[in-house]
Amino acid sequence: MHRSWFAEEEHEAARHVIELLHRIRLHWLLRHLPPRIVWTGYVFFSSFITIALLSVLAAITGSPFVFPSLGPTAYLFFFDPMGKSSSPRHAILGHAIGLICGYAAYVAMGGHPFSTASLAQVSSREILAAALSLAATGAIMVLLRVSHPPAGATTLIVSLGILTRPEYLVIIEIAVILLTAQAWVINRIAGLDYPIWEKRAANSTP
């Protein structure tokens, strides 16, 4: 019984991927591969394409268009594209909040160069900056009804002094917007009703 339910859930999750294969005339794969494998391939190739394009842009411009927290954002976009945290609004605003809070905490603690020393040698300023940035990011996201967990990594990248130049922070947010735009195109091609900004709840109340 459990196996039957799980298989049905997988098939539903991979439905848009199945529709995509029909659209690009690769539906013959469905006769040889189970839904889980099809879904796996979709997540793999979609994530590869989006991050590869941003990596090429980073290499050409010499700017940080690729940074660690883009990874979990890309994963959300293609693993659970219709989830709340995967909508453009939550991704774009979440990272923006993380960048602002991270930089504010970094400045408030007097600024500090990033150190690759062990955790036992982290200074009190770094500890306070990291704690303050994450706390502020979480609180503001709750206040503004924004939900995007990868923003927690973004704020630590900034508050710990890894990326702190103001122009880099702008580039990071542009990278998030570009990744979101790529996800919108790919998920729309796959047949999903992926939102332009935010998915509306079916029975939302004011």
Asked whether the predicted pLDDT for residue 134 surpasses 90, the reply is yes
**Which pLDDT score is estimated for 3?**
45
More confident residue, 46 or 120: 46
**Which pLDDT score is estimated for 25?**
72
**Which pLDDT score is estimated for 116?**
60
- Crossing angle for the helix pair 70-79 and 88-108, to the nearest 10 degrees: 160
**Which pLDDT score is estimated for 36?**
78
List of residues 6+ apart from 113 with CB closer than 8 A: 161
pLDDT tens-digit series, residues 72-108: 999 999 988 989 999 999 999 999 999 999 999 999 9
Confidence tier at 11 by pLDDT (50, 70, 90): low
The SS3 call for residue 84 is: helix
Distance of CA 5 to CAs 1, 38, 81, 204, Å?
A: 6, 18, 21, 28
Helices (H), 151-194: 151-159, 166-189
**Which pLDDT score is estimated for 102?**
97
**Which pLDDT score is estimated for 121?**
72
Q: Judge contact between 91 and 195, C-beta under 8 A.
A: no
pLDDT tens-digit series, residues 148-196: 999 999 999 999 999 999 999 999 999 999 999 999 999 998 888 899 9
pLDDT tens-digit series, residues 25-66: 777 777 777 777 878 888 999 999 999 999 999 999 999 999
The owner of tokens 């994530």 is 47
